[in-house]
């Protein structure tokens, strides 16, 4: 016992850091258990998780005698401290820049300022700072312990339309309304009018989404207006649990579908328990450099869309007993880190090309099918006022579509046969 006591006293600062690391990891594990237990296999058997664990073990071994540096590295890259701080700073720092790039640079500057100041204070007042962060994470764990866990929520469909036709829902992420394109992007949009007339679509020009972010708007589109605690995984679970997929053959392709969730799992809005600088940025970038596909914002967008078109081509030949509903989530024109088209108008042009290509596939293989083309929300660029970021795209053919039903109950209500 005396030997252990002497060992602890001699290495008290290292053990404090080790205790802090244990608390951070425990909080992440508890968060996974409470909120994402149904995706546990995807979280555990995931490249980003492997890198997180391996690198954690390595820095613990190699920085054994440099406990202050160990603490700084872990606080910066492995905990959620700087991610949380970024969201706290953005409402204030974004006011100091005019373009999105300037706003991000200002935010990064202040984060660096905080990081440098914290590192300096750490070397002078280590015992106070480590005590503060230990208390902070202890409080976080206590809050998690007593907060209610997630339960599956079934949202029943409302008014339904009976149709024996196959149906295709083509969603273009962040496609803005024609008014937004003309007024705020200063471009006279004529493609949608020409396209809708040529392909016999009904086009609605005053469409607003329930949410202005993909993580909430896509479940809302599929299953109706959701409460603020509704998670993407609830919508994914719904595909196999409610009448939508029991009475129809559902084919879905999205970064949030279970088909692709191994590549989307570390998107910070999807699995918040692994939200840190390392898991959100550094490890996904490393994986992209190694295998060319990546995770989260470093997703290989070209490969994603190639697979989407292949799925659309294959599914359009289906002629089974059940009615087939195909849901394709195209990333474009949403801005992506590795997008080849950096300008929003160029990405809208890309989305237009994808619309034509998709309709050519459907017209060739399943010409009598019903088709819905829409966006999950509008363009969220800094030049667009908040009100208009909800204004998006909606056009349809060969289907009776009640926009009030869509807003309240989601697209599921259009295809649910009673």
| Domain end residue (candidates: 81, 113, 146) | 146
The pLDDT value recorded for residue 262 is: 43
Helix 232-241 crosses helix 214-223 at what angle (to 10 degrees)?
A: 30
153 within some domain = no
| Three-state DSSP string of the chain | CHHHHHHHHHCHHHHHHHHHHHHHHHHHHHHHHHHCHHHHHHHHCCHHHHHHHHHHHHHHHHCCCCHHHHHHHHHHHHCCHHHHHHHHHHHHHHHHCCCHHHHHHHHHHHHHHHHHHHHHHHHHCHHHHHHHHHHHHHHHHHHHHHCCCCCCCCCCCCCCCCCCCCEEEEEECCCCCHHHHHHCCCCCCCHHHHHHHHCCCEEECCCECCCCCHHHHHHHHHHCCCCCCCCHHHHHHHHHHCHHHHHEEEEEECCCCCCCHHHHCCCCCCCHHHCCHHHHHHHHHHHHHHHCCCCHHHCCHHHHHHHHHHHHHHHCCCCCCCEEEEEEEECCCCCCCCCCCCCHHHHHHHHHHHHHHHHHHHHHHCCCCEEEEECCCCCCCCCCCHHHHHECCEEEECCCCCHHHHHHHCCHHHHCCC
The pLDDT value recorded for residue 213 is: 76
Burial-class residue 77 by CB neighbours within 10 Å (0-12, 13-18, 19+).
Answer: buried
103 and 172 fall within a common domain:
no
Sign of CA dihedral 263, 268, 269, 273: positive
Q: Closest by alpha carbon to 253, among 273, 239, 269, 242?
A: 239
d(CA 366, CA 376): 25
The angle formed by the CA atoms of residues 197, 174 and 357, to the nearest 5 degrees, is: 45
C-alpha torsion 128→131→133→135, nearest 10: -140
d(CA 322, CA 245): 10
263 within some domain = no
361 and 409 fall within a common domain:
yes
d(CA 114, CA 127): 19
The pLDDT value recorded for residue 336 is: 66
108 and 176 fall within a common domain:
no
CB 347 within 8 A of CB 144: no
Domain count, the chain: 2
| Domain end residue (candidates: 95, 116, 146) | 146
Domain of 26 in residue numbering reads as 2-146
325 and 185 fall within a common domain:
yes
359 contact partners, CB below 8 Å, separation of at least 6: 199, 371
Its pTM surpasses 0.75: no
d(CA 392, CA 316): 26
32 within some domain = yes
Q: What is the pLDDT along the chain (418 residues), one digit of tens a residue?
A: 655 565 555 577 888 888 998 998 888 888 777 766 655 665 666 677 788 889 989 988 888 788 888 899 989 988 888 888 887 887 788 778 776 677 778 888 999 999 899 888 888 888 888 899 999 889 988 988 887 665 444 444 433 334 467 889 899 999 999 999 999 988 888 899 999 999 999 888 777 777 777 766 776 666 655 554 545 445 444 444 444 455 677 787 876 654 444 444 344 344 445 678 887 778 877 777 776 666 656 667 888 899 899 999 999 999 887 788 888 989 899 876 656 777 889 999 999 999 999 999 999 999 999 898 988 888 988 788 888 888 888 888 887 665 554 555 555 555 554 3
Helix 47-62 crosses helix 12-35 at what angle (to 10 degrees)?
A: 170
The angle formed by the CA atoms of residues 299, 56 and 65, to the nearest 5 degrees, is: 145
Structure tokens at 390: 């909800």
141 and 175 fall within a common domain:
no
188 within some domain = yes
Structure tokens at 11: 């290495």
What is the number of other CB atoms lying within 10 angstroms of the CB of residue 149?
9
268 within some domain = no
- Whichever domain contains 227, its CATH number is 3.40.720.10
207 within some domain = yes
237 and 380 fall within a common domain:
yes
213 and 125 fall within a common domain:
no
247 and 213 fall within a common domain:
yes
Q: Closest by alpha carbon to 234, among 200, 258, 251, 205?
A: 258
103 and 171 fall within a common domain:
no
287 within some domain = no
| Domain end residue (candidates: 115, 146, 177) | 146
64 and 181 fall within a common domain:
no
d(CA 39, CA 231): 13
133 and 205 fall within a common domain:
no
Structure tokens at 237: 């679970």
204 and 81 fall within a common domain:
no
155 within some domain = no
pLDDT in tens, 208-252: 777 777 766 776 666 655 554 545 445 444 444 444 455 677 787
β 202-204/370-374 pair status: unpaired
């Amino acid at each position: 016992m005396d030997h252990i006591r002497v060992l602890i006293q001699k290495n008290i600062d290292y053990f404090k850091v080790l205790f802090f690391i244990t608390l951070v990891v425990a909080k992440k594990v508890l968060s996974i258990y409470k909120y994402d237990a149904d995706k546990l296999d995807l979280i555990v058997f995931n490249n980003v998780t492997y890198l997180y664990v391996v690198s954690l073990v390595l820095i613990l071994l190699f920085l054994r005698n440099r406990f202050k540096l160990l603490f700084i590295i872990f606080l910066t890259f492995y905990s959620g401290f700087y991610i949380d701080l970024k969201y706290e700073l953005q409402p204030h720092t974004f006011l100091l820049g005019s373009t999105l790039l300037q706003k991000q640079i200002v935010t990064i500057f202040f984060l660096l300022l905080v990081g440098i100041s914290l590192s300096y204070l750490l070397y002078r007042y280590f015992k106070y700072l480590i005590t503060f962060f230990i208390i902070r994470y202890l409080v976080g764990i206590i809050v998690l312990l007593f907060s209610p866990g997630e339960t599956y929520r079934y949202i029943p469909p409302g008014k339904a339309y009976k149709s024996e036709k196959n149906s295709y829902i083509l969603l273009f992420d962040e496609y803005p309304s024609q008014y937004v394109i003309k007024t705020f992007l200063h471009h006279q949009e004529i493609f949608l009018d020409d396209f809708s007339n040529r392909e016999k679509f009904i086009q609605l020009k005053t469409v607003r989404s329930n949410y202005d972010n993909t993580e909430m708007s896509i479940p809302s589109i599929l299953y109706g207006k959701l409460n603020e605690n509704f998670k993407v995984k609830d919508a994914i679970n719904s595909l196999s649990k409610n009448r939508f997929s029991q009475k129809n053959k559902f084919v879905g392709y999205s970064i949030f579908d279970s088909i692709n969730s191994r590549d989307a799992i570390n998107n910070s809005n999807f699995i918040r328990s692994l939200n840190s600088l390392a898991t959100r940025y550094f490890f996904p970038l490393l994986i992209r450099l190694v295998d060319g596909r990546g995770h989260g914002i470093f997703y290989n967008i070209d490969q994603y869309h190639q697979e989407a078109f292949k799925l659309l081509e294959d599914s359009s030949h289906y002629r089974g007993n059940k009615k087939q509903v195909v849901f394709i989530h195209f990333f474009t024109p949403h801005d992506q880190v590795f997008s080849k088209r950096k300008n929003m108008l160029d990405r809208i042009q890309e989305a237009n090309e994808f619309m034509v290509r998709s309709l050519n596939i459907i017209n060739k293989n399943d010409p009598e099918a019903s088709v819905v083309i829409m966006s999950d929300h509008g363009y969220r660029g800094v030049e667009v006022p908040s009100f208009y970021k909800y204004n998006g795209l909606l056009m349809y053919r060969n289907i009776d579509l009640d926009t009030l039903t869509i807003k309240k109950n989601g697209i599921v209500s259009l295809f649910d046969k009673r």
